[in-house]
Structure 1
Amino acid sequence: MSPSPTPLVDRFGRRVNYVRFSVTDRCDFRCLYCMSEPMTFLPRARVLTLEELAILGRAFVELGAHKIRITGGEPLVRRNVLWLFQELGRLREHGLAELVLTTNGSQLERYAADLQAAGVARLNISLDSLNPDRFRRITRVGELAPVLRGIRAAQTVGFQRLKLNAVILKGRNHDEVTDLARFAIDNGLDISYIEEMPLGVIGDHDRAEAHYSSDAIRADLAQTFTLIPSTESTGGPSRYYRIPGSETRIGFISPHSHNFCGDCNRVRVSAEGRLLLCLGQEHSVDLRHVLRAHPGHQERLKQAIVAAMAIKPRGHEFQLGGQPVILRYMNHTGG
């Protein structure tokens, strides 16, 4: 079934057809750009149930959304989360074109085959370093080897596309930009380089000092590879380049140096059920309240989603200096 037109249009004429669900704020890593240490997680009663997430998925698809991405935290640490993937996968019969997952890869060796069978088409896998010691420092607790095994498992089961996500920080991993690209090319993977998102108060580093721009990354890559601009899109904010003789796409997500707000087609639902109209603003609607105050009223839920489009802002107000504008952490928001 081809995707239907969406009534989800904001006041700037942008059509929203892509929704990201954070299914948990919990994670088995503690990445220094994502959360503070220690981290206080949401009480379970405040987190949407899997059944509520499935109801939301159907509502968005009925409103014309044709892409759903599952994020966290780390989605695969959520108990019984495979059931949700199976439920959302069935929405392909009702207009959903693509179900995708962002993961840190730690649980992929266990879940890859079941995710593919449930209907997950593509995976984004976080990989910020190929050095085990550095990987552990960036994630604070993570081990590289299980992630690499997870990538191999995902390659084996045959997802449509696999992409690496690398958040690049000056003085932490900026010297691995070329090595990460070579790893992606050698393994037939795409890769996107991401400028750090200034969400939450992070005491580990100064974001302005650690900022490493997409332009700097591209200049590093250009010393080794020929980068050809591409018009390809996966429906998100990445701007892609191709390398002659390779199937790998090199992407750049640049909230600071190349703002991607003008053609934004996305909204997010946080782990506690807030419909976030912008990653970098606090405009939101409490969908958990709608779900729990009016159980079974799908039309009321859809009306709340459509009405929320009126408060979707023109763009974010990210800044590198001073205190962050947005105090919620990335793991609460959905990475």
Structure 2
Amino acid sequence: MTPYDASSPQGQTATAGPLVDSFGRAVSYLRVSVTDRCDLRCVYCMSEHMSFLPKAQVLTLEELDRIASAFVALGVRKLRITGGEPLVRKGVLGLIEGLGRHLRSGALDEITLTTNGTRLAEFAGPLAEAGVRRINVSLDTLKPELFRALTRGGDLSKVLAGIDAAQAAGLRVKLNAVALAHDNAAELPDLIAWAHGRGLDVTLIETMPMGEVEADRTDQYLSLTALRAELESFWTLRDLPLSTGGPARYVQVAETGGRLGFITPLSHNFCEACNRVRLTCTGTLHTCLGREDAADLRAVIRSGASDEGLVQAIRAAVEAKPQGHDFHIDRASPPAVARHMSTTGG
């Protein structure tokens, strides 16, 4: 299968005009899940005994390239490679290197990556050579035993070594930490201070009601609005007019000099300026993280569709993008969406 060719007559016709939804929001950010598999089993993300997808259902690297490149031709300026854990996907570095042609042409501003960090010691240098300049590392605690419990067996030392390797390779690293009321809430100030001391930004994330997991998210939910108020009792937080293309709202912590982000899908809906869509490793396009909307792009390309047909399918899906999600956490209610975060791609 050949990559998408925007210079062809079909491509030039299909890509005319920006990729805008019915609410006037331009889509400029695509998150691409390359696998549903992960080498950790975080309690808020996955079931302990996950059933993973058969290989035939997962897009090939060539198919991932074709779809991602179609989005770039439609005006997407940022690609984020996600999973599961993207670095467990065989050949993922080749995919990133191939997509780097869009960086060199100027069609794309950046390729970023979200990882759990367990394989960063091996991949940090090659990722930097492939054109990646910044990455997000998911890390909820600096306590080895708690890390092992939250990830169901993970080794914190591998993640810390990966962060060291990433910084040594010149990658900008941001930590993502899910705020959990009974596990890491008391530790979050220390985690933030440690990260800022190393020159790392931090983003805190409210737990999201996605997929059936063993943990009770009702008990674990911690409002970041309340947490910010607590942090302001001993730190000075200054709002920043900053956007990195995602849903976080940023502040600077005067006492540490570092940046701190808040992603609040429950306590403060962030949909009004949403510019992103998500492609799962099966080729399903989700235009809203918190809705069950879906467009099957795998079926489109495997049916032999032309580049123009692929773009038409993308445009139709984005046109139907909902105005916002409706996340809530309630003991009596099932998750807002049935799919797991690891399947959606973050």
TM-score by length of 2: 0.92
> What CA deviation, in whole Å up to 9, does each residue of 1:51-106 have, x standing for no partner?
11111121011000000001110000001110011011111115100110000000
Q: 1:97 to 1:147 in 2, by over 3 A?
A: same
Name the CA distance, whole Å, in 2 between partners of 1:192 and 1:212.
Answer: 14
Name the CA distance, whole Å, in 2 between partners of 1:52 and 1:154.
Answer: 28
Number of matched pairs: 329
Is 2:106 aligned against 1:97?
Answer: no
SS at match of 1:236: coil
Q: 1:325 Cα deviation (Å)?
A: 2.4
Paired residues of 2:193 and 2:256 also in contact (CA < 8 A)? no
| Fraction of identical pairs, as percent | 52
Correspondent of 2:270 among 260, 272, 283: 260
Name the CA distance, whole Å, in 2 between partners of 1:149 and 1:229.
Answer: 32
**What residue number does 1:320 align with?**
329
Query: How well do the aligned residues superpose, as a CA RMSD in angstroms?
Result: 1.4
1:46-195 matches, cutoff 5 A: 46-92=57-103, 93-159=105-171, 161-195=172-206
Q: 1:279 Cα deviation (Å)?
A: 0.3
Name the CA distance, whole Å, in 1 between partners of 2:16 and 2:153.
Answer: 44
Q: 1:247 to 1:123 in 2, by over 3 A?
A: farther
Paired residues of 2:117 and 2:137 also in contact (CA < 8 A)? yes
The code of the aligned residue for 1:96 comes to L
Name the CA distance, whole Å, in 2 between partners of 1:276 and 1:157.
Answer: 33
The code of the aligned residue for 1:126 comes to S
The code of the aligned residue for 2:311 comes to K
The code of the aligned residue for 1:128 comes to D
Paired residues of 2:18 and 2:75 also in contact (CA < 8 A)? yes
Q: 1:246 to 1:176 in 2, by over 3 A?
A: closer
Name the CA distance, whole Å, in 1 between partners of 2:319 and 2:26.
Answer: 12
Task: Please list every run of 5 or more consecutive structure 2 residues that lacks an aligned counterpart in the other structure.
Answer: 1-14
Paired residues of 1:6 and 1:16 also in contact (CA < 8 A)? no
Paired residues of 1:195 and 1:213 also in contact (CA < 8 A)? yes
Name the CA distance, whole Å, in 2 between partners of 1:198 and 1:254.
Answer: 12
Is 2:320 aligned against 1:311?
Answer: yes
Q: 1:291 Cα deviation (Å)?
A: 1.3
Q: 1:319 to 1:264 in 2, by over 3 A?
A: same
Task: Please list every run of 5 or more consecutive structure 1 residues that lacks an aligned counterpart in the other structure.
Answer: none
Name the CA distance, whole Å, in 1 between partners of 2:87 and 2:146.
Answer: 23
SS at match of 1:113: helix
Correspondent of 1:216 among 212, 226, 242: 226
SS at match of 1:73: coil
Name the CA distance, whole Å, in 1 between partners of 2:99 and 2:235.
Answer: 39
The code of the aligned residue for 1:250 comes to L
Paired residues of 2:236 and 2:255 also in contact (CA < 8 A)? no
1:264-283 matches, cutoff 5 A: 264-283=274-293
Name the CA distance, whole Å, in 2 between partners of 1:319 and 1:246.
Answer: 33
Q: 1:6 Cα deviation (Å)?
A: 6.1
Name the CA distance, whole Å, in 2 between partners of 1:87 and 1:225.
Answer: 44
Segment drifting more, 125-134 vs 239-248: 239-248
Paired residues of 1:106 and 1:147 also in contact (CA < 8 A)? yes
SS at match of 1:251: strand
Segment drifting more, 4-13 vs 190-199: 4-13
Correspondent of 2:308 among 289, 294, 299: 299
Name the CA distance, whole Å, in 1 between partners of 2:256 and 2:243.
Answer: 17
The code of the aligned residue for 2:173 comes to L
Q: 1:189 Cα deviation (Å)?
A: 0.4
> What CA deviation, in whole Å up to 9, does each residue of 1:262-310 have, x standing for no partner?
1100000011110101000011110001111116x22211111111112
Name the CA distance, whole Å, in 2 between partners of 1:94 and 1:294.
Answer: 29
Name the CA distance, whole Å, in 2 between partners of 1:298 and 1:197.
Answer: 35
Q: 1:246 Cα deviation (Å)?
A: 4.6
> What CA deviation, in whole Å up to 9, does each residue of 1:200-240 have, x standing for no partner?
01122x21221101112212322332110001110100000
Paired residues of 2:282 and 2:298 also in contact (CA < 8 A)? yes
> What CA deviation, in whole Å up to 9, does each residue of 1:169-206 have, x standing for no partner?
111111111011111111000000000111001122x2
Is 2:299 aligned against 1:289?
Answer: yes
> What CA deviation, in whole Å up to 9, does each residue of 1:109-135 have, x standing for no partner?
000000011011210000100000000
The runs of at least 4 aligned residues of structure 1 exceeding 4 Å deviation read none
> What CA deviation, in whole Å up to 9, does each residue of 1:130-171 have, x standing for no partner?
000000111112110000000010001112x21000001111
